[in-house]
Amino acid sequence: MPSLYGGLLIATVWAVPGLNFINCVCCAGVLLGGFLAVLLYQKDITPDMEPFSRDDCIQLGIFAGVISAILGVLIQYIVRMIFGDVMIDVMMKLVERMNVDLPPEYYQLIETARQSEQSVISFVVDVVVLGMMNTLFSFLGALIAWNVFRPKQ
């Protein structure tokens, strides 16, 4: 469950317009997801249970990363299939309203995203690429949490 919540956080930060700006700071959203998974896990540990270990944290981080990749890409594809480019439109409106300073390449990126075609192959490639990177950063986030919450010896 903690990995699921961590994965959900990562997928939400990635997919929701506005929130995904958090990932501009070294994938902070992904690091946070791994961190959250460990935070939730260690909160459920009672004194009569075995203390959580570094290996537990690693597993939590990796699972959160994998879950986030599948969920994130799935949400994005489903929303685009049903609603069209609504996420992109919302993002553009948000950018205008928030007076966000973005370089011109950002708008090129948006146009490329609008024109990109969805297929099974692109879905698999996106899941694999995002899965690898999200797993790595979520794992690092979980390790950071281990160093913060490790049982004092």
Partner 1 sequence: MKKELNILIAMTSVWCGLIVLTPVIATMEHGDGTVSNIFYRLFGAVCHQFDSRSFHILEHPFAVCIRCTAIYFGFFLTLVSVRSSTALQTKTIKVTTLLVITFMPIAIDGICSLFAIYQSTTFLRMMTGSLFGTGIALLLHNSLSEIIQSTFRITQQHHETETR
The site for partner 1 (CB under 8 A) is made up of 21, 24-28, 54, 58, 98-106, 109, 129-130, 132-134, 137, 140, 143-144, 146-148
57 Cβ neighbours under 8 A, 6+ residues apart: 38, 41, 142, 143, 145, 146
Q: Report d(CA 18, CA 93) in Å as an integer.
A: 10
Q: Report d(CA 83, CA 99) in Å as an integer.
A: 26
Between the alpha carbon of residue 67 and those of residues 37, 54, 111, 116, 129, the distances in Å are 12, 20, 28, 24, 13
Q: Decide whether 78 or 109 has the Cβ nearer to partner 1.
A: 109
DSSP designation for 99 = T
**Minimum Å distance from CB 25 to partner 1?**
5
Q: Decide whether 26 or 84 has the Cβ nearer to partner 1.
A: 26
Q: Decide whether 78 or 102 has the Cβ nearer to partner 1.
A: 102
Q: Decide whether 46 or 147 has the Cβ nearer to partner 1.
A: 147
Residue 21 has which token pair?
A: 């700006």
